Amino acid sequence: MKPLHVVLAVLITAIWGVNFSVIKLGLASVDPLILAGIRFSLCALPAIFFIRKPDVPWRYLIGYGLVFGMGLWGVVNLGIKAGLSAGIASLVLQFSAFFTLLLGGVVFKEALTRFQLLGMLVALAGLLCIITLSDGSVTLPGVLLVLFGAAAWSVANVINKKAKTKDVFAFLVWSSAFAPLPLFALDYAVNGSAGYTALVQQVDTTAVLSILFQVYPNTLFAYWVWNSLLKAYPVSTVAPLSLLVPIFGMLGSVLVFDESVPVSKVLAVVLIVLGLAVGLYGQRIFDAVFRRAGRAVL
């Protein structure tokens, strides 16, 4: 990769990691589901009036919008509000990679490799480390909610793959239009008008900046740049950099919220990132090393 493109890729992972802290800041004055609803409203509007609908069936746009908007980010917002720190949320959400592998095995009949199974076991050890934390940064409801969000993300990935769209940005904009109304309606069904009353009375500059960051740098800009890089370079070159997301997520939480980082938390980060690396790239690395060794012998 060109040096500028490497910098851009790292910048995107930093934006995605820090976004968890930005979400937590917004949740101080905005209800979780309403926050997600406003985010996806602005992702769709006004861009949808200027960007042509991608050439995919409506069911994929609707399905992706509902799962990505409600199942993923609406639920992740609830998990953070339920007491999970921003750093831990960014870490737990990475289990979406393993859920995607498992779901891919069911939907696309893709067999799991020994490296993928090993990676899952290593990452699960990291998750156990997280559950045992007692520094106030972890709650069981929060962990379960973000794990649900990770599973929803895997479903969204499958929908995206089945849609086979080449215009990812347009797909994101148009699918975002189907998330806000269900999010707003669900919040009203659960909480009545309380969340909307609080929004009018308590919304502040921090909440506004949080929403704007989630919409423009984190969603529209970051996904556009990332997918542009994926088109310009092999997936094997760009994708491994996503392992930096939970690291930036933890650093962001430390800087913004002064989150403590005991040895057990460091161990959890190491195990989950290592598990992701082994599960997603272990086979590729093993094959590359084996080929080199074979050539050296010859």
Contacts of 124 (CB under 8 A, 6+ apart): 275
Average pLDDT over residues 49-53: 94
Q: Which of the four pLDDT bands, split at 50, 70 and 90, describes residue 248?
A: very high
Decide: pTM greater than 0.85.
Answer: yes
Question: Is residue 79 within 8 Å of residue 150, measured between CB atoms?
Answer: no
How high is the pLDDT of residue 136? 84
**Of 26-35, 41-50, 111-120, 236-245, where does mean pLDDT reach its minimum?**
236-245
Structure token pair of residue 26: 């917004």
pLDDT bin (cut points 50, 70, 90) of residue 67 is very high
Residue 290: predicted pLDDT: 65
Residues 183, 31: Cα–Cα separation, whole Å: 11
Is the confidence at residue 298, as pLDDT, over 70?
no
Token pair of 111 as six digits? 């067999």
- Strands, DSSP E only, in 134-200? none
Compute the average pLDDT of residues 18-39. 96
d(CA 65, CA 40): 9
| Predicted pLDDT of residue 86 | 95
Burial (CB < 10 A; 0-12, 13-18, 19+), residue 200, is exposed
d(CA 93, CA 284) in angstroms, rounded, equals: 24
What is the per-residue pLDDT across 153-211, written as a single tens digit (0 to 9) for each? Answer: 989 888 988 888 888 899 999 999 999 999 999 999 999 999 999 888 888 999 999 99
Please give the share of the chain, as a percent, with pLDDT higher than 90: 56
Cα angle 82, 92, 117; round to 5: 145
Q: Which helix (H) or strand (E) holds 7?
A: helix 3-26
